[in-house]
Amino acid sequence: MSKQPLARAFSLLAASFFLLSSLSTAPTSAAGTVKVGVLHSLSGTMAISEVTVKNATMLAIEEINAKGGVMGEQIEPVIEDGGSDPAIFAQKAQKLVQEDKVVTVFGGWTSASRKAMLPVFERFHGLLWYPVQFEGNECSKDIMYSGAQPNQQILPALDWAKAKGYKSYFLLGSDYVFPRTANLILKKHIVHDGLTVAGEEYVPLGGTDFSAIVNKIKLAGPSIIFNTLNGDSNVSFFKQMAAAGLPPSKLPVMSFSIAEPEAKSIGPSLLQGSYAAWNYFESLPDPVNKKFVAAYHAKYPDQPIDDPMIHGYLDVLTWAAAVEKAKSFDIDKVRKAATMLAYSDYGMGETKFAANQSLVQTGFVGELEPSGQFKIIWKSAGPIQPVPYDPLSFPGKVCSI
Amino acid sequence: MNESVLVAGQLFNGISVASILLLAALGLALSFGLMRVINMAHGEMLMMGGYLTYVCTLLFGKSTGFLIGMVVAFFGAAAFGALMESTLIRKLYGRPLDTLLATWGVSLILQQAARSIFGPIGVEVTAPPWLAGSIAIGGTALTGLSIPLVRVFIIVVAAIVLGGVTLLIMRTRLGMLVRAVHQDRGMADALGADTRWVDLCVFSLGTGIAGLAGATLTSIAPVTPTVGQGYIVYAFLVVILGGLGSLAGTLAAAVIVGLFSATAQIVTSQSFSDVLLLVFVIIFIQFRPRGIASSRSRALDEA
C-alpha cells in the first residue's frame, strides 16, 4: 500500500493542525492568570448596543490588571461573539465554561439571550453577570442580575409621574416580552394607586407606522405616555407625533429604552423635553463617574455612555472585590461573597448586591436636553432594594436563592 | 373627540399608509412586475435616498436641502440602478434565483457601506419646518380631526409619481417599447426594439422612484442602514396582490392594504391587524392567483 506523496503531505498537514489546535484549546492558562468570559453580540442587530458594553467591561479588566490583578493574578479575558442570536449565546456560553474553563462570564443583553444561556450555566455550573435592565420575573443562583428590576426603573418612574400630578397613562411598547411584562406591572400599580390607564398599544418590533396609534392617543387624551418602544420604532413614533402636533413639550413622554446613544441617533431635537428613567446617566455628578467617563472617552472619544455600560463595568469590579473577599475563584464562594460586600460607589451612586443576587441601586429620571445629554430632575429617596417578582402582579412568587 | 373622529382619522390614515406603500412599491412594480427581476436591494434604494437627503440637508439646510434631497435621491438611486443593471442584472436575465441571490448580496453590501460611512445608529433627518403644521377641521361633526401636513405632502408626492409613471408608460415612445417588451420580449426584439436599453431604463427608473420614496419618507421614518428592510416585505405584498405588470393593480392593492390595516386598527391592535391583513392576502391569492389586475401577456404565460 503506497501512499501518494500529495496525500501523505495532506495527512501530515492535518496531523500537525490537529496537534496545534489541541494545544491551543488546552485549558492550561499561563502562570499567574485567570480566565474570564466576555460574551456579547459583536455582530448582528444587537452589536450597536453590546459592543459598547464589551468595551466598558474590558476597561474594567484593564484597570484591575494595571493595579496588579485579582489575588495577584492577571485577568485574561476570552471574548466571544453571541451574534445577536440566542442559540449562539447558549453555544458560546457552554464553550466558555467547558472548554476555556473560565471562572465567570460577563455578558448578554436581550432577555432572549439570557434565557438561552441560563440552562447552560445551571447545568455546567457557571456564573453569569448580566448588565441590562429587564422585566424581572426570573431568579437563578447562577446569574448576578446587575441591571434594574422593574421596581428599580419602571415603578420609580411611576412614583415620579404621580408626584408630578399625572393622572392618565397611555402605555405604548414594542411587541415582545419586556414591554408586555413592564406594562402588566404598570397597569396593576396604576389601578392600585387610583389612577387611570388611558390605553395600551403594541407595535411589531421595528414597526414604522404609527398613524393609527397617534390617532388613538389623541382620542384617549392621556396626560403622559409611558413608552417601551425599542430602537428605530422610536424615531418614527416621535416624528409622527410631532407631525400630528403632539411633540413631547405638549404631551409628555417617559421612555424606558432611550438612553444617551439612542437619543443621539433619534435626534435630540425630536426628543427634546421628553423623559427617561434609568439607574445611571452619563451626566451623573458623581466623582467616580467623572473618572469612568474620562477613562472611557480617552479610549473611545465622543461616544455616548449609557446605563448598561456602567453595569458592565461595575460587574467586573464587583466580581474582583468578591474574589478578594472570598479569597477564592470558586463560583459558590464568589457569589456568596458578592452579596456580603458593603455598599460602594462604582460611578452610579451607592450600590451593592442583595441576597437575591440583584443589585441594590438608585432610580433616576432625566429630561433630554438639546445636547443629547439628560438633565437629572429626580432621584429615588435612596438605593432601592431589588424585587424580582412584583407582589401586585405575581402574588405568592418569591425569589429564594 | 368622538368615535366618528377616530373613524374619519383612520380613513385618512388608510389613504396615507396607501400612499407610503405605493411610493415604496412602484419601483418594484416596474422591475419585478415588468421585468421579472426580483430586486432584493430595492429596500436599500430607499435607504440610499434617505442618506442622500441627509447629506443634502447638511449642505443646504433643512428646508431647501429636503427638496434638493428628493431630486438628488431620485437621480442618485437611478444612477446606481443603471450601474447595477448594466454590470450585474444584465448577466443574469432568465435566472431569477441567481438574480435574487446577487441582488441580496448587493443589499448586504449597501447596508454595510451605510454602516461604515454614516455609523450604525442612523442619522437625524427631520421634516422641513414648512411641513410641521396640520390642517384642523372644525365646525362640523368631525371637530377635533386634524390632518398632518406631512402626510398630505406624501400623498401628493405619491400621486405625482404615479401620474408621471403612467404618462411615461402610456404616452411616450419609451413607454410603448416598455409595453411591447413586457408583452412579448422575443417579438419586440425581432422587430428592432432595443430590449437591453429598455431593461436598463425600466430598472433605473424603478430604483430612482425608490430613492425618491426614501427621501420623502425621511419626514416620518428613521434613516438607518437597515431601514429598507421594513418596507420591502410590504412592497412585495402590494406588487403581488396588485398583479404583476399592472400599475393600476399596484395602486388598487396599496389602497386596499392601507385602508384594510387602518380600519382594522379601529377595533384591534397593530400586530393583530397585520395578521388579519396577511390572512386576507392569502385567501385573496387563492381565488385570484394573479392579483387584482391580472394583465395578459406572453411573459406571464411563460412564468
The total domain count for chain B is 1
Give me the residue from B221, B226, B266 closest to A235, CB to CB. Answer: B221
Delimit the domains of chain A by residue range: 33-149+285-361, 151-283+366-379
Whether residue B73 is contained in a domain is answered as: yes
Which ranges in A165-210 belong to alpha helices (H)? Answer: 177-192
Answer positive or negative: Cα dihedral of B177, B178, B184, B190. positive
Report how far residue A353's alpha carbon sits from residue A342's, in angstroms, rounded to the nearest whole number.
9
Count CA atoms closer than 13 A to B176's CA, side-chain side: 4
Contact A216 B229 (CB under 8 A): no
Environment class of A110 (CB within 10 Å of its CB; exposed 0-12, middle 13-18, buried 19+): buried
Q: In what order do the strands lie in the sheet with A168-174?
A: A196-203, A168-174, A224-228, A253-255, A275-278, A364-368, A374-379
B236-290 tens-digit pLDDT: 999 999 988 788 999 999 999 999 999 999 988 888 999 999 999 999 999 988 8
Examine the pLDDT at B135 and tell me if it is beyond 90.
Answer: no
Angle at A125 between CA A120 and CA A127, to 5 degrees: 85
* Nearest-angstrom CA–CA distance, B205 and B194: 17
**CA B243 from centroid of its chain's CA atoms:** 15
Q: Using CB atoms, pick whichever of A215, A245, A270 lies closest to residue B126.
A: A270
Instruction: Report pLDDT for A8.
Output: 52
**Rounded to the nearest 10 degrees, how much is the dihedral formed by the CA atoms of A142, A146, A147, A152?**
110
Exposed / middle / buried, residue B116 (Cβ in 10 Å: 0-12, 13-18, 19+): exposed
Question: Is B271 part of a structural domain of the chain?
Answer: yes
DSSP three-state, residue A168: strand
pLDDT in tens, B189-233: 999 989 899 999 999 999 999 999 999 999 999 898 989 988 998
Confidence of residue A267 (pLDDT cuts 50, 70, 90): confident
Please, which pLDDT band fits residue A18 given cuts at 50, 70 and 90? very low
Q: Report chain B residues whose CB lies below 8 A from the CB of A43.
A: none
> Which amino acid makes up residue A201?
E
Interface of A with B (CB under 8 A): 45, 47-48, 175, 201-204, 206-209, 211-213, 215-216, 218-219, 221, 232, 235-236, 239-240, 242-245, 261-262, 264-267, 269-270
Cβ-proximal residues to B175 (8 Å cutoff; 6+ apart), any chain: B167, B168, B169
Is A98 or B37 the better-scoring residue by pLDDT?
Answer: A98
* Run of H or E including A335: helix A331-340
pLDDT tens digits for range A150-166 = 999 999 999 999 999 99
pLDDT at B139: 64
Q: Which among B124, B127, B262 has CB closest to A243? A: B127
Average pLDDT over every residue of B22-36 = 88
Residue with cell 406603500: B21
Do B262 and A211 make contact, defined as CB atoms within 8 angstroms?
yes
Residue position matching grid coordinates 405575581: A394
* Average pLDDT of every residue of chain B: 89
Q: Tens of pLDDT along A36-54?
A: 999 999 987 788 789 999 9
Residue A204 and residue A213 in contact, taking contact as beta carbons nearer than 8 Å: no
- Give the containing element (helix H, strand E) for B254: helix B247-267
Q: Would you say the ipTM is above 0.90? A: no
The position carrying cell 453580540 is A41
**DSSP three-state, residue A265:** helix
Burial class of residue B167 in the structure, from the number of CB atoms within 10 Å of its CB (0-12 exposed, 13-18 middle, 19+ buried): exposed
Residues of chain A positioned with their CB less than 8 A from the CB of B9: 215, 218-219
CA atoms within a 13 Å half-sphere pointing along the CA-CB vector of B124: 15
CB atoms within 10 A of CB A154: 27
Question: Distance between CA B158 and CA B163 in Å, rounded?
Answer: 8
Helix (H) or strand (E) holding A227: strand A224-228
In which band, very low, low, confident or very high, does the pLDDT at A270 lie, cut at 50, 70 and 90? Answer: confident
- Provide the pLDDT for residue B298: 52
Question: Cell triple for residue B155?
Answer: 400623498
pLDDT for B295 equals: 58
Chain A residue numbers with beta carbons less than 8 Å from the beta carbon of B227 are 208, 232
Evaluate the CA torsion angle A297, A299, A302, A304 in order and state its sign: negative
Q: Mark out the alpha helices in A258-330 (DSSP H runs).
A: 260-266, 268-271, 287-299, 307-326
Which own/partner contact pairs does B130-137 have at CB distance under 8 Å and 24+ positions apart?
B130/B63, B131/A243, B131/B219, B132/A242, B132/A243, B133/A245, B134/A243, B134/A244, B134/A245
| pLDDT, position B297 | 53
Distance CA B52, CA A131 (A): 37
Chain B neighbors of A47, CB-CB under 8 A? 120
- Identity (one letter) of the amino acid at A283? S
Query: What's the pLDDT band for A20 if we cut at 50, 70, 90?
Result: very low
What would the pLDDT profile of A303-331 be if each residue is shown by its tens digit? 899 999 999 999 999 999 999 999 999 99
- Distance, CA of B199 to CA of B99 (rounded, Å): 14
Domain containing B78 equals 3-297
In tens, the pLDDT along B54-97 reads 999 999 998 899 999 999 999 999 999 999 999 999 998 878 88
| Other beta carbons less than 10 A from residue A5's beta carbon | 8
Question: What is the pLDDT averaged over residues B1-10?
Answer: 81
pLDDT, mean of residues A182-199: 96
When CB atoms are compared, the residue of A202, A208, A245 closest to B230 is A208
What whole-number distance in Å separates Cα of residue B8 and Cα of residue B20?
19
| Residue A371: Cβ within 10 Å count | 12
Distance between CA atoms of residues A226 and A240, nearest Å: 16
Q: Residue A215 and residue B220: Cβ atoms within 8 Å?
A: no
Distance CA A394, CA A388 (A): 10
What CATH number was assigned to the domain covering residues A151-283+366-379?
3.40.50.2300
Question: Residue A226 has what pLDDT?
Answer: 98
Instruction: Specify the pTM.
Output: 0.86
* A243/A389 Cα distance (integer angstroms): 40
Distance CA B104, CA B40 (A): 5
pLDDT at A77: 97
Amino acid at B38: I
- Does the pLDDT of residue A201 top 50, yes or no? yes
Q: Do the domain assignments include residue B84? A: yes
Residue B303 included in any domain: no
CATH architecture, domain A33-149+285-361: 3-Layer(aba) Sandwich (3.40)
Binary contact (A47, B120; C-beta < 8 A): yes
> Which residue of chain A has the CA closest to B125?
A267
Which residue in B126, B274, B275 has the most chain A C-beta atoms within 10 A of its own C-beta, making it the best mutation to test that interface? B126
Beta carbons of B127 and A221 less than 8 Å apart: no
Q: What pLDDT was estimated at residue A288?
A: 95
Question: Do the domain assignments include residue B11?
Answer: yes
Find cell 411611576 and name the residue: A158
How far is it, in rounded angstroms, from Cα B289 to Cα B3? 37
Beta bridge partners of A169: A197, A224
